[in-house]
C-alpha cells in the first residue's frame, strides 16, 4: 500500500471470490482480457519487472482475441492469484468497463516483501479513440510517457481502479498510507480539496478492511471521483463522491505517474495499451 503500513495481519493464503450471480460456471481465463473485445488479434508480450523495485520478473502475457463480450471471463494477477473480471458495470453506470491491466502492491518490512493488495485498471473503451497519437508505440515507450496517462485521466469518460485486499488491514492504516501518497502531490490544497480529503478519510476511519475486500475508485470525469467499498464481491452502491479535481488527479498519479506505487500495474497497463493501439 502507499506509504507506511504499521498493522498488517499474518500472511495467509490468497483467494478472490465473486458473487454467484456474476460468475460464469465455466469462465475462461484470459491472459490479457482487454483484447477479448477486439476480434482477430493474437500476439505475445513479454513483461519483465525489476526485483529491486518489488516487481515481478519473467512474466509472459499471451494476448488473444475473443468475441465473447457478454461472458464473465476473468484474468488472474500472476503474483497474488487474484482474479479480475474482464468487463464489469459499476453502480450508477450503465456502460461496461474493460480491464486493461493488473498488478499488485507490496510493502517491505525488515527486508521481507509483504503483498497488500492486487489492483486492476478498467476503462471505457471509447477512451482508446482519443489515443491515436500513441498508435504504434511500444509498451516501454508508453510506460515512460506520462502525457499518455494524463490524457487517459483527462478524457471525460469513465475509468476505474479496482483494489482487492489480500490480507486484513484496518481502515485507519489504509487511509494513513493513502493520504501519505496523495498529500505531497497537492502542493497548495484549497478548501475544496480539504473537504474532499475529509470525506475520503471518513470512508475508512474505524472500518475493518478484511482480506478479499473490494475497493473501487471511479473517475467519471476529471473533476469527480466515486468510492465504493464492498466486503462481499462487487459493490452495489457508491459510498462517497469526492468532488475535487486535485484529489482525483493526485490519486491517479499515485498509480500511473512517474513513481507509481505499483510498478507492475503500470507496466501491465502499458502492455495492454501497446497491444490495442498497435
Q: What is the CATH number of the domain that holds 271?
A: 3.50.70.10
Torsion over CA: 76, 78, 82, 84 (sign):
negative
Structural domain range at position 90: 74-276
Kind of pairing between the strands at 208-209 and 169-170: antiparallel
Out of 2-16, 52-66, 133-147, 208-222, pick the least confident.
52-66
Residue 107 lies in a domain: yes
Residue 92 lies in a domain: yes
Out of 42-46, 129-133, 152-156, 204-208, pick the least confident.
42-46
249 pLDDT more than 80: yes
pLDDT at 111: 58
Output 133 or 27, whichever has higher pLDDT: 133
Residue 271 lies in a domain: yes
- CA–chain centroid gap for 169, Å, is 18
Residue 5 lies in a domain: no
pLDDT at 107: 75
Residue 94 lies in a domain: yes
Q: Single out the residue of 174, 7, 140, 21 nearest to residue 88, CA to CA.
A: 21
How much is the average pLDDT of 104-133?
87
Number of compact structural domains in the chain: 1
Residue 31 lies in a domain: no
How much is the average pLDDT of 97-110?
86
Other C-beta atoms closer than 10 Å to the C-beta of 245 total: 17
Residue 252 lies in a domain: yes
List, for residues 205-229, the tens digit of each pLDDT value: 889 999 999 999 999 999 999 999 9
* Percent of the chain scoring above 90 in pLDDT: 63
CA distances from 133 to 62, 160, 244 (A): 25, 23, 28
pLDDT band at 177; cut points 50, 70, 90: confident
pLDDT band at 110; cut points 50, 70, 90: low
26 pLDDT more than 50: no
Output 37 or 111, whichever has higher pLDDT: 111
Residue 90 lies in a domain: yes
Q: How far apart are the C-alpha atoms of 253 and 83, rounded to whole Å?
A: 24
Amino acid at each position: 500500500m502507499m506509504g507506511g503500513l504499521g498493522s498488517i495481519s499474518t500472511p495467509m493464503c490468497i483467494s478472490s471470490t465473486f458473487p454467484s450471480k456474476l460468475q460464469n460456471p465455466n469462465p475462461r481465463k484470459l491472459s490479457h482480457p482487454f483484447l477479448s473485445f477486439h476480434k482477430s488479434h493474437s500476439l505475445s508480450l513479454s513483461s519483465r519487472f525489476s526485483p529491486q523495485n518489488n516487481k515481478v520478473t519473467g512474466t509472459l502475457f499471451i494476448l488473444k482475441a475473443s468475441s465473447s463480450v457478454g461472458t464473465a471471463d476473468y484474468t488472474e494477477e500472476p503474483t497474488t492469484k487474484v482474479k479480475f473480471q474482464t468487463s464489469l458495470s459499476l453502480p450508477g453506470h450503465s456502460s461496461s468497463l474493460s480491464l486493461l491491466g493488473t498488478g499488485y502492491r507490496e510493502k517491505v518490512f525488515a527486508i521481507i516483501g509483504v503483498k497488500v493488495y492486487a489492483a486492476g485498471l478498467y476503462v471505457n473503451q471509447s477512451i482508446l479513440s482519443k489515443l491515436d497519437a500513441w498508435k504504434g508505440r511500444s509498451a516501454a515507450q508508453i510506460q515512460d510517457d506520462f502525457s499518455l496517462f494524463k490524457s487517459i485521466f483527462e478524457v471525460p469518460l469513465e475509468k476505474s481502479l479496482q483494489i482487492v485486499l489480500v490480507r486484513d488491514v484496518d481502515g485507519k492504516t489504509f487511509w494513513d498510507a493513502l493520504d501519505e501518497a496523495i498529500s505531497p502531490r497537492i502542493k497548495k490544497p484549497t478548501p475544496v480539496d480539504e473537504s474532499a480529503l475529509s470525506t475520503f478519510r471518513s470512508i475508512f476511519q474505524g472500518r475493518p478492511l478484511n482480506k478479499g475486500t473490494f475497493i473501487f475508485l471511479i473517475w467519471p470525469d476529471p473533476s469527480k471521483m466515486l468510492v465504493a467499498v464492498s466486503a462481499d464481491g462487487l459493490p452495489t452502491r457508491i459510498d462517497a463522491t469526492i468532488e475535487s479535481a486535485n484529489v482525483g488527479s493526485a490519486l491517479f498519479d499515485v498509480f500511473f505517474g512517474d513513481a507509481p506505487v505499483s510498478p507492475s500495474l503500470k507496466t501491465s497497463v502499458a502492455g495492454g495499451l501497446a497491444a490495442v493501439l498497435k
